[in-house]
Amino acid sequence: MSEIPERPEDLDKFVALVGEMKQSVASARAAIKPVLAQLKDNSLDFTPGISLLTLKSHTLLSYMHSLVLLSSHKLLGHSLQSRTPPPQAFSDPKRDARGTEAGDLIDDLIEGRVILEKIKLLEGKMKYQIDKLVKAGQAQQKGKPAADDPLSFKPNLANFTTAGSASGSEDEASDTEKPRSGIYQPPRVAPMPYTEAPRKGKRDRALPPPSALANLALDDGTNPFVESTSGLGSAPSMSSSRARELERMRRFEEENMTRLVMNKREAKRRTQDEAGMALGGVGRRVGGLEDEFADVLRGIGEVGRPGRKSDGYDELRKRGQKEGVLERSRKRPAMEEMGANEAIDGGKRKRTRFEKDLKSQRRKEKRTVK
């Protein structure tokens, strides 16, 4: 007699999974039955339309349903090009239903995705109202008193009456009204709950990203020569808004094979800014080549001839020219009376920038030692 093979573990898991699916389907049917009964009795009035949250739920359910059907069509190997679209437009309320082909399911998925994106924008605008309604529903489920209801300040429309009915009600109320004591009693108003937004501590605040990472994200790999070679200066970067605007204009002109129309002032400004981004421009506005050698050029001299802006080579040009007899006589030292470092008319010799910086540095070192 042959032995009965043992049941594998996967088979037991499959049986348990099928049982859970049956229970889920049964619970879903039990929840859908009252909704179907309301639809048959026409007790659900959707004449003015459905709410935003209801539309979101229905659209998401329809999207998932179409996605499952499309997956089944792909597994069966059906064509995705076959479709039977309705002749009416999408905004027509009497539009016919789509077909059941794979192409129709793709169109349904596209429409559902567009609707969900529009709903997301509307939810952002109506976030305050939606939060209030959700809190009111949660308060009713928890059994909170009416004083904590966020909608307790909602006006009662039944109290708005006409002038004739209001006068009649006042006459009737005056007969049955109790005598007043003359003491003012403020009206009892339900308190409004204050929901404070969560505060971010000092540790929770996001630190700004390092400048190196920002420049690396905007780095142009096709032009590696703009990077700094010495490490002392600052190479032209795309971190400024003007630099990003110039880059966007350049890409637009290259893609469309055309030049942007601008007046003379804007064109001149663009030319200067592009030159400044490339080689530093005039006046060291944005760094560049001059900023690479700024420490060297700054020590040569910054005072030029009257009416002319100086550069870093004025001092070198002066040294290359031969001085006159008068200038050389003024610099002739008087060794007998004033010493080696003193001039005849000028007193002590004028110190250079290097000597001044050296003296100030020595003073700082002495202060730190003390």
Q: What is the pLDDT of residues 298-315, one digit of tens each?
A: 545 455 555 555 555 666
Token digits of residue 269: 């400004």
Query: What pLDDT score was predicted for residue 31?
Result: 87
pTM for the structure as a whole: 0.33
CA distance linking residue 139 with residue 262, whole number of Å: 61
Neighbours of 108 (CB within 10 A): 19
- pLDDT of residue 170 exceeding 60, the answer is no
- For residues 61 and 106, what is the distance between their CA atoms, to the nearest angstrom? 15
Least confident of 119-123, 305-309, 361-365: 305-309
Cα dist. 342→186, 278, 327, 338 in Å?
95, 48, 15, 5
* Arithmetic mean of pLDDT over the chain: 72
pLDDT of residue 235: 44
Predicted local confidence at residue 94, as pLDDT: 80
pLDDT band at 12 (very low <50, low <70, confident <90, very high): confident
Average pLDDT over residues 49-56: 80
Instruction: Report the SS3 class of residue 342.
Output: strand
Contacts of 38 (CB under 8 A, 6+ apart): 44
Q: How far apart are CA 227 and CA 273, in angstroms?
A: 18
The 10s digit of each residue's pLDDT in 187-236 is 777 666 677 776 766 555 666 666 565 555 555 555 555 554 444 444 44
Report the Cα 197 to chain-centroid distance in Å. Answer: 20
Does residue 276 carry a pLDDT above 80?
Answer: no
Secondary structure (3-state) at 66: helix
Confidence of residue 267 (pLDDT cuts 50, 70, 90): very high
**Is residue 281 predicted with pLDDT exceeding 50?**
no
Instruction: Check whether 111 has a pLDDT greater than 80.
Output: yes
Going by pLDDT thresholds of 50, 70 and 90, the confidence category of residue 282 is very low
**Statement: residue 105 has pLDDT above 80:** yes
Contacts of 108 (CB under 8 A, 6+ apart): 62, 63, 66, 98
Cα–Cα distance for residue pair 12/221, rounded to 1 Å: 59
Backbone φ, ψ for residue 69 (5° rounding): -65, -40
d(CA 316, CA 126): 71
346 DSSP 8-state letter: S
Domains of the chain: 50-88+96-149 (1.10.287), 229-321 (no CATH), 329-369 (no CATH)
**pLDDT for res 53:** 79
**Token pair in block for residue 38:** 């309301």
CA distance linking residue 159 with residue 254, whole number of Å: 69
Percent of the chain whose pLDDT exceeds 70: 55
101-118 average pLDDT score? 89
Confidence category of residue 278, pLDDT binned at 50, 70, 90? confident
Confidence check: pLDDT of 335 > 50: no
Helix (H) and strand (E) counts in the chain: 13, 0
pLDDT above 50: residue 344: no
C-alpha–C-alpha distance, residues 114 and 318, integer Å:
74
Please determine, for residue 340, whether its predicted confidence score (pLDDT) is greater than 50: no
